[in-house]
Every structure is written in structure tokens, then in C-alpha cells.
Amino acid sequence: MDADFWHNKWENKHIGFHQAEVNDALREHLTTLNLAPGSRVFVPLCGKSLDMHWLLAQGHGVIGVELSPIAVTELFEELGVTPKIRQCGELNCYQYEDLTVYQGDFFALTAADLGPIDAVYDRAALVALPESLRTQYTDHLMTLTQMAPQLLLTFEYDQELVQGPPFSVRADEVARHYDAAYHLRELLREDIPGGMRGLAAAQDVVWYLQPLTQEV
């Protein structure tokens, strides 16, 4: 899986991963992060998610990173705004008021580019990556955000029955990536009606990752 895989998805409108509504888990569990008004929330591999619209409406600053220029363009078009665009290292930076999206390779984004982050909302990033990239992703994410608190959404199912993405990321793998830096709390685990593409029983899992530097 490489960049062309995702570029082709957007070019050919094969974007079944894009939800037509705000994610219920975000609505229900954002308060767990205990964010102050105006907090800066980072959304990795953000696509054109409506979740970003909702976070903005809650009064937060939203910072995303997305590979596809098509996704970024459509995000701002659907918000009905015209961003300012500038070069930022190896990435293009699109900005309008409290929304900033870096278009390009996630791994080219630096902490200096990103600035201070109060929380991470990972709905579709970790599960979008093959196992071979997930450690590199989680290490870079923690470096970028100075181990900010996270709301993490994953799927669990029999990976032998269904080819990802989205990939199955089980609890032991979440712990392997994150338990050296975070307290891990499972907020929700529920069956997905119809399973994963009707081929395998599957569950949605919502995690709260609280930095070990914070009191439990």
C-alpha cells in the first residue's frame, strides 16, 4: 500500500470510508478529553471528514493532515470557505480561521509545523495503515503532539476473513503502541451490525488515551 493507493481512491471516488454524518463516538465521548474552549485538536489522515465541521462548531481549533489534495479541496468547498494556501516544508498548508490542513505526507509533518496540540482525534488513521506502518505512525504521532491525550477509534475483526483497510487493530496492539506513554481506557465496545462488509463479525472500539504525565 502506497500513496498511489489513496490518490486513486479519491480520484475515482471510491471513498466508502467517508462518513455522511458526524461520528456518534465523537459526539458522545469528546467530553472525556475535558477540553477547554479554543483547544487545538489534531485529526491525522483527516480526509474531508464532517467530524472536523463538528469540532469547529464546538469552538475548537482543528488541525488536520491529509495526503489527497482532492480531499482537502472538497473539505473547504463543503464548508463554503476559501482557504489561504502556502508552502510549509514538504507540505501545502491550507488555512481558514480556526481550520488548518496540511496536505501531503503525514511523515513529512514536523512538530514545529504543527505547533502545540491539546488533543488527538484518530478515527480513521491507525486503522487505515497496514501493520508494517503502524509503529512508525504511532511513534511519529506522539512526537508531533508531545503525547497529547487521544480519542482513538478502532475496529476488531478476523483479519484473515477480510482484507483491509480498514484494518483490525486489537487491544493488545493498541497497548503495544501506546501503554508506555498513556493510561489506556476502553470507553466503548459494540458489535457492528452486519459485521465487516458482511464477511466477518466485527466490533467498534473507542479508546481514551490519557498521558501518564497527567493524574488518573
Residues making up the annotated binding site are 10, 45, 66, 123
Nearest of 77, 131, 144, 78 to residue 105 by alpha carbon: 144
Q: Report how far residue 144's alpha carbon sits from residue 108's, in angstroms, rounded to the nearest whole number.
A: 11
Rounded distance, CA 170 to CA 152, Å? 12
Give the annotated binding-site residues for S-adenosyl-L-methionine. 10, 45, 66, 123
Residue 182 sits at the vertex; the CA angle it makes with 179 and 185, to the nearest 5 degrees, is: 90
Could you tell me which of 69, 72, 45, 75 has the C-alpha nearest to residue 144? 45
Alpha-carbon radius of gyration of the chain: 16
